[in-house]
Structure formats: C-alpha cells, structure tokens
Structure 1
Amino acid sequence: MALSRLERAQIWLLKAVMGVFFTLFRFLSSRKPDGRRLPPVSNPLLAVSATQLARKIRRREVSSVEVVQAYIDRIQEVNPLLNAMVKDRFAAALQEAAQVDKLIEEETGGEEVLEDRLPLLGVPLSVKEAFALQGMPYTTGVVSRRGVTATVDSPAVALLKRAGAIPLGVTNTSELCMWLESHNHLYGITNNPYDLERIPGGSSGGEGSILGGAGSVIGVGSDIGGSIRMPCFFNGIFGHKTTPGVVSNENQYPPCSGTQEDYLSTGPMCRYAEDLVPMLKIMAGQNAEKLSLNTKVDLKKVRFFTIPDDGGTPLTSPVTNELREIQRQVVQRLEADIGVKVEEVQFPGLQYSFQIWDTYMALPDKDGKLPQPFAELMGEPGRPEWPVWELLKWMVGKSDHTMAAIGLGIMEMSHGSKPPDPFAIEQKEKLQKEVEELLGTDGVLLYPSHPKVAPKHHHPLFRPFDFSYTGIFNTLGLPATQCPLGLSDEGLPLGVQVVAGKMHDRLPLAVALYLEEAFGGWRDPGAN
C-alpha cells in the first residue's frame, strides 16, 4: 500500500530533524586524539603466513601450542586498544593445539599426508561473530540477542576447522551487519589498528582490525555490500569477495531473505596473499573445483583495465588524490614489470551504483516474498522495533540501537511499498552486459576499494553511500580481491580492488600475489 500524504510529510520532517541532529552529533562526538598506538610486533611467529606456519608445525620446527600462545599474547596486548575480539576461547584453543602437537608426534605417514589431509593443521583462526561458531556468541551486536550462542558451526567455519585451523574467538561487527562501522550497543566500538580514532570498516570490521593488528593471521568474513573488502582496505590486509554461490552462506545471522542470497559472499580475510587460495579451496568445499584454483595464471596473458572513479555523483565522495595516484602506480608497475597494456575505461552506469544496489537488495524472491524488514531484525527474538521511537530514545541515551541501525530502519520506512525502480534495473542490466563483455574469461579490472582512506569514527553517517564502490560488484555478482598498497602520508592503508568475471576468482587472486611483492603487502601498524 502506498504511503499517505500525511505519512510522507512525517517522514520528510523526520529526515529534516535527523539532518540537524546528525550535524549536532558530529560536533559532540568529536574528540582529541589521545596519542595511543599499537605496540610493534615482537614475536617473529606473528610475521609468518598461515601457509608457512602450517608447514613449520608439520615439520616440528615450532609447536602449535607455541603459535597459538603467541597469538593469544598478541590479542591480550592489542585488544584493549582495538576492541576487535569480543569473546575468546583461549583455553579451548590451547587444548586443541596440544592435541595437534600430539597428533603430529604420533603421525607415521609423513608431512605430505598431513598437508593433504589437514592443510591448516595447528594454525590460529579468528571468526566474524555473525558466523555460527559452536559455543560462542551469535548476536551480531543486537542487545535483544544477548546470551544467544551458536549450537553448530557454519559450513565455512566447519571446513576450516576440519582442515586443522584452531579458532581463537569471535570478532565484532556492525549492528546486524548492515553498516560500514563496527559499532553496536552490545560490544561497543572497534578501532582501526593504524589510528585508534578511525574506523576499521564493517561489517567484518572486528576481523579486519584484529588481522591488521597482527592478532590473527587468517579470518572469516562475509560481504553483501563490501563487508570484506572495506575492512580489508581500511586495515591494510587482503580479502576476497568470492563469486556468489561458491562458498556456503548458511548459519550466518541475519539470514538472507528476498534475493539477498544472490549477492552475499563468504570469503577469506588474511594478512598474506599466499593464504587466499588455500583458504578459498577449503571454504568452498566441493565447489572449489568450479574455480580451477589449481590452474596457474600467467599474468602476461591477462587483459588489464583500470577505472579511476565512478564518474562523479553527489551521493559519493570524490576519490582522493592519494588513492588515484596509488592506482596509477599500480598501472605503471604492471606495464613495466609484466609488459602488459592497462587500458583505462569508464562505465556511465557506475554513477548509479547505490541506486542499483539499493533496488536489488529489496527485490522479492522467486515466490514473491520480500526481504525481512530491518525493524523486525532489530527486535528479534522479540517484537519488531519502531525506528522513530528508537530515535527519540537515542536522543536521551536510552536506545539499545546505534544511530546507523535506526537510520536504516527509518530509510526503510520511507521506501514504503514502492515498486522496484525500473531505471535502476535498466542501468544494472546494461552495466552487467558491458562489464562482462569487457572482462570475458581473461580480464581484470582495477577499481578503488573506497573513495577515501579510513574515516574517523562516526563520519560515515554523513557520507553513507561511499560503500557503493564495493557494493556494485555484489549486485553484478563478480569476484573481487582487495589488495593493500602501502600507507598514506598519514600512515593509513592504501589499496585497490581487483575484479574479474564470474567464476574466474583465480585471476584477481593471482594479481594479489603480484601486488604484495610489488608494494610490500601488510605493514605492521606498530612499526609505522
């Protein structure tokens, strides 16, 4: 049913009030930096990839207990500053590491047998709290879900555990995983390891923060609008948004509804590029064969394209000069080192990235069932929340919800029951055809992961659509790898996302290995 004139007027007035209130909020939330920084990495085990750690453990060059303890020590050192890991399982992890060491001691089949059967044996792992990890909190920061624990493992987590990885704990998210800052009223706000006054991104921001701060080496994230790539960009690490449908999205909260399953991707997050493919092979299970990840990629035979920005739109921030420059440097290095020609292209449809994403997230499924209203999710397992009432409560410090969640609920109200935007659908179909024809089976595209480096806390409230630089590739269903490219003059991570055609995930993953070698990969935030 369409909104009445009175309802439209109420919503318009509410938006005007929120605009004024956001301005006041920005003024009141500003704070002076306290100068605290993360300590540098001191244990050399923390500067080794998961692949190499597993090899060292299998060869008994180091014990799993030593590795797990090293990461526990690091988490205890940095998490008071980051608030990234919201619940640990350190005692259980040490017991599991001791069992790993005993298994290796008793193994008679040799290192090759262990590598084939348990490729991540004894390696620590962190998990986004939105994924079910048996016995651990499973709330996505919703106060009404306090006390909810997972009774099973999500498939991706189960496969990593079956490969020998040892979970250390679960990490913070944005409330209900629908915002680009990891902040909720159950666990609080998570900080960026390179600057504690800045955001780590969302919704996999706790994962990005603990990985970037060297409190973990590999992690599990999910991405429906950039929730892997933005945190990886802001925290200077690698992350891969897989082709949808390759890695199971089951046992995540909130669950998909409408057509959202078509745009959500579960994927790996890590500090070292060489861990991306092994993790994806494990997480994809039997579907890994569809990606031909064992096929060697010759970058000289890959066609490269670059797009410097979305073409300019009032909804998104302009791409900063430092990010334009680092992307130009990537182009120059590719042409000089590999001998390829990188062609600059532009698609007018990218100007409508947010409208496209917003339209497709709200589409009904094949049976005509619409996505679950956000206000219902805000109140589960109880009654739906009324976002306007929550806004009034928030103004006096009484709401259990963040401003981002309340704002999303109000925006959903303003949509009402309006039909899908035909212009956005037309633009998406046109853009889909243009991009797929350009990339084919052997092309990759360089595109900014975000128009600016990690913003200060709460600032995304005033530029809420910048995530569309990543969100558009969810709607298009394309795989994309975020790659770190060193640090800005302010000491904040730079990066770029590398996009390929559907099911050709191996191409951007191969480019990630090259870019790590060319630009140095992850940098210790305590050493900068």
Structure 2
Amino acid sequence: MGLSRLEKAQTWLFRAAMSFFFMLFQFFSPRRPAKRNLPPVSNPLLLLSATQLAKKIRRKEVSSVEVVQAYIDRIQEVNPFLNAVVKDRFAAALQEAAQVDKLIEEETGGEEVLEDRLPLLGVPLSVKESFSLQGMPFTAGLMSRRGVVASVDAPPVALLKRAGAVPLGVTNTSELCMWSESHNHLYGITCNPYDLERIPGGSSGGEGSILGAAAAVIGVGSDIGGSIRMPCFFNGIFGHKPTPGVVSCENQYPPTSGRQEEYVSSGPMCRYAEDLLPMLRIMAGPNADKLSLSTKVDLKKLRFFSIPHDGGSVYTHPVSKELLDIQKQVVEHLEEDLGVKVQQVCLPELRYGFQIWDTYMGLPDKDGKPPQAFAELMGEPGRPVWPLWELLKWMMGKSDHTMAAILLAIVEMTHPSKASPIIIQKKEKLQKDVEELLGTDGVLLYPSHTRVAPKHHHPLFRAFDFAYTGVLNILGLPVTQCPLGLSEEGLPLGVQVVAGKLQDHLTLAMAIYLEKAFGGWREPGAN
C-alpha cells in the first residue's frame, strides 16, 4: 500500500526543512581535510581471527607479546587518521601479555586445558569508552564527566578479561551514546577507515573504526537503536545485537531508565565471523545457557525471508539501489547454493519504525517513572542544560555539546510526552506478525541502513534513517550485521540477519555462511 497524499506532503516538507538546515549547518561548520588513505596492513598477524590467534598463542607458535605489540603498532600507525582510540593502556597490556606467555610456559595441563579455561588467552581487545574498564576514562564523551575514571570492569568486559583477553584501550562514542556519528567535544570526531571524510557510525563508532582499520581484532559495543550494527555496517565488520537480557548492560554510561533496559543489548564486534559465537558465549556468562549456541545449524532446513525496505516511511529515505541490489544477490545466492526458497514479505507496520522506537524509548517503567531527560544527562553532574541557550552558544563556538546532542534535547523539550495508542497498536501488531513469521527456524534479511556510510555531519539531515536498526531493538530480536563486500566507491555493503527471540545461533551461523560467500571484511583500500 503506497503513501497517502498527506504523507507525501509531509515527506516533502520534512525533507525540504532538512535541506534548509543542512545548508545552514554547512555555513557554520569547519571544513574537513581532503581525503587520505590509511597505510596498508603489513604485519600478517593482523589478518588472523581472534580464534586463530588464541590457538597460535596456546601452541607457542607466536607469543602474546608479539601479537599485542603488532596491534599497538597498528593503532599508533592509523589512529592519527581515525581518532578512534581515545585512551590507551599499552604499557599495562604488554605487561599482561608477558604474564600470559609466562603462564603458557608453566602450564602442564596441555593446550586443551588452556582452551577450555582461557579461550581468548593473550588476544588483544578494544572496549567502547562507555563501558566501565578499570583505570580507564568513563565519560561517554561528556565534557562535564572529564576526569571520571572507571573503578571496576563492566560485566562483559570482566568476563572477556577472565577468558584471557588483553584490553588495549577505550574507543570513541557519540556524546552520551545517542547519535549515529561518533563525535563529542571531549575527544573530537572519529573517521571511517574506508574514507576519512565519512562517519564510522555511532554510538560504537570508535570500535567500528579501529576494527575496520585492522587495528583491533575483537571489541565490545552496546546497541539501543543500532549502535553496534550501524558502525559494523559502515566499517565492513561483523557485529551481533543479542536477544536483550542475555548479556549484562550494567556499569555502562549513561544508565538506562524508563523501559529502556528492555531494548538495549551489549554484544561482540569483530572482523571475522568465527569470533562472534565464542565471544557471545563468554560475554553472556551464565545466561549463555538460555541460547542454543552449541546446536549445529543446518541452513538448508531453515525458512528464509527478505524485506527490501520499510514500505515508505515519512521519516526515512529510500534504500539506495546498491543496498537493494546486494540484498537481492544474497537472496539469489541462498536459493541457488542451498536450494531454499527466500520469500519476500511485506510488514506494513515497519513504515512506523521510527515512531515505534521513539514511543517505546519514552515509556515509563513499571512504577510509572519516566526515562531521564536528555537535557539532564547533558548537564550531569550539575543542573540540566538549557537546549536553546546551548544552541546559541554553539553558533558562537562556545558550547561544550555537539549539535546532535543539542538538537536531541530541543526535540525532547518540544516532544509530546503522551504515547500514541495508534503507535502502540502498530507495534503490537508488528511484534505478533514477526514472531509468527520467524518462529524458531526463520531467518529474515533486512537492510542495515538506507545508504552506505554518510559524510561527516550528514546524519543531522537524515536523522531518522536509523529506524532500520532501531525498530528491531523494540521488537527484542537478535540481529547479526554481516559485511557483503565493497561498493564501487570502496565503501562497505552489508545486511542485517534477524531471527526469533533467543535464536541467536541462527544468525551467527548465517554470518559464517555469508562470510564464505561474500568475502567478509575487506582491507580498506583493497577493492
């Protein structure tokens, strides 16, 4: 069913307004430097998965110190271009790597004992700065939190460290983790390794950037509207948003409020698909038993579905031809290679994806307490900011906040607080239809975004395209973001693979399959 005349008029007016604000923003914004390319990867250790590195370290084919040093060298080589790692712990990491090598020398139980007890022993790890990592900054890019240092490890970080991983440092986020570009006035702006004039996504954009640049092999991100999947898509890597509640989201900043805990997930980000499942098993801790991660998946016995776009939302732009084409190629490959039928389906309620996300993010908790206002978070630990005053300060170059954060606070200030019964009904209908469609053996292909990585600041004028990822948070489904090669411009392509609740193992199996079929991560500059 197409758009009504009213919806078409709303769409035209909305996009015309965005074009006007885009021109205004360009006038006040500094110019970006000309495009440059990253140095190519020279150390072959950087081209191995975490699983392969752990095996080589256990077998003493390479030392943990060598691997950690290789990644330190790569970070030092590319981070001046990317601004992805905002604080390192290189000296401590090398000390921990030396202890790993000593432990392996003294181990008498054999390789199997080490693999079972410490599956990531000696493998480097990067961590999103909004996760608490002991001794590291813990600000989420907020100027007023400058100087805040984490005193403990967030649970998934602690579990990865307990499995032997060696943290190298923390990576940049959007201000307060609520925007699709990783930019804040504390650390600055992060760039995409495939094109420095483009964004790496957000809020886990520093993670996506450093992983895509082959300066990290595994990392951790969080996702309440696409904050794992958009950076993974824009930077050509794998990422998994688990079923909510499986991986702990404690000791992250900002904390959730209202009903947001139901929609946020913490999960793995990596360059190689084979690392997703072991990482998820570790990060989930005892909750891993809720998932069927040891179950072997026969893809030929699954039911496959494809949705090429949201049906024409007023808020989102059309999906680009190159992303429609690559999803079609995935469909054709599945049908030809596996002998399955991929059914193209239409779920009309997806047109309301942004409104659904926006409504449910603002719902009060079971005690009736609403989510914390964004203007309050921006002012912590002091008083809430005045958004219009901050906008005026920004135009004079005096604000501590980014334009994205200021606009979000303004929108929230003028936003009606009452939830629309119509949108609640649309969500409930969509939830029912999706759960009936997928069951326990269904897999859905859905676009990751409307286009490949945008240029810096451009998301301000296509602010709601994240609905392609955000609506899946509200539905509570596990989703794996899979890279599918590069566009003609050399930018990553990809697709979201979705399954029913607690069926994470299906999307992880699909990631391994699609990596073999489409090549997985590609080195930036190597088309």
Question: Which bracket does the TM-score occupy, shorter chain normalised?
Answer: over 0.9
When the two structures are aligned, how many residues end up with a matched partner? 512
Matched residue of 1:277: which SS?
helix
Kept in 2, the 8 Å contact 1:85–1:206? The answer is yes
- Cα offset for 1:35? 3.2
Kept in 2, the 8 Å contact 1:199–1:454? The answer is yes
1:483 aligns with 2:482: yes
Partner of 1:326: 326
- Cα offset for 1:383? 1.0
1:144 aligns with 2:138: no
Q: Which runs of 5+ in 1 are unaligned?
A: 1-15
Cα distance in 2 for residues equivalent to 1:447 and 1:344: 11
Cα distance in 2 for residues equivalent to 1:165 and 1:316: 40
Partner of 1:459: 458
Partner of 2:512: 513
1:16-415 → structure 2 map (5 Å cutoff): 20-29=20-29, 31=31, 34-415=34-415
Q: Which runs of 5+ in 2 are unaligned?
A: 1-15
Matched residue of 2:309: which SS?
coil
Cα distance in 2 for residues equivalent to 1:392 and 1:135: 36
Cα distance in 1 for residues equivalent to 2:238 and 2:20: 38
Which of structure 1's runs of 4+ aligned residues deviate more than 2 A? 16-23, 26-33
Matched residue of 2:170: which SS?
strand
What is the TM-score when the length of structure 1 is the normalising length? 0.96
Cα distance in 1 for residues equivalent to 2:302 and 2:137: 44
Cα distance in 2 for residues equivalent to 1:197 and 1:35: 6
Cα distance in 1 for residues equivalent to 2:440 and 2:26: 46
Cα distance in 2 for residues equivalent to 1:19 and 1:450: 20
Partner of 1:469: 468
Q: Deviations over 1:365-417 (max 9, x none)?
A: 0000000010010011111111111001001000000000000000110115x
Kept in 1, the 8 Å contact 2:194–2:524? The answer is yes
Matched residue of 2:167: which SS?
strand
Kept in 1, the 8 Å contact 2:490–2:525? The answer is no
- Distance change (3 Å), C-alpha of 1:404 and 1:32: closer
Cα distance in 2 for residues equivalent to 1:452 and 1:19: 17
Kept in 1, the 8 Å contact 2:18–2:462? The answer is no
- Give the residue type in structure 1 aligned to 2:50: A
Cα distance in 2 for residues equivalent to 1:40 and 1:449: 27
Cα distance in 1 for residues equivalent to 2:405 and 2:111: 49
- Cα offset for 1:254? 0.1
Cα distance in 2 for residues equivalent to 1:488 and 1:61: 37
Cα distance in 1 for residues equivalent to 2:462 and 2:22: 11
Cα distance in 1 for residues equivalent to 2:338 and 2:243: 26
Kept in 2, the 8 Å contact 1:485–1:521? The answer is yes
Partner of 1:4: none
- Cα offset for 1:266? 0.3
Kept in 1, the 8 Å contact 2:302–2:443? The answer is yes
Cα distance in 2 for residues equivalent to 1:525 and 1:17: 35
Cα distance in 1 for residues equivalent to 2:26 and 2:314: 20
Cα distance in 1 for residues equivalent to 2:85 and 2:19: 33
Kept in 2, the 8 Å contact 1:224–1:474? The answer is yes
Q: Once superposed, what is the RMSD of the aligned Cα atoms?
A: 1.3
Matched residues, percent identical?
79
Partner of 2:8: none
- Cα offset for 1:105? 0.2
Q: Deviations over 1:128-158 (max 9, x none)?
A: 0000000000000000000000000000000
- Give the residue type in structure 2 aligned to 1:290: K
Cα distance in 1 for residues equivalent to 2:403 and 2:18: 10
Q: Deviations over 1:414-467 (max 9, x none)?
A: 115x31111110000000000000000000100000010000000000000000
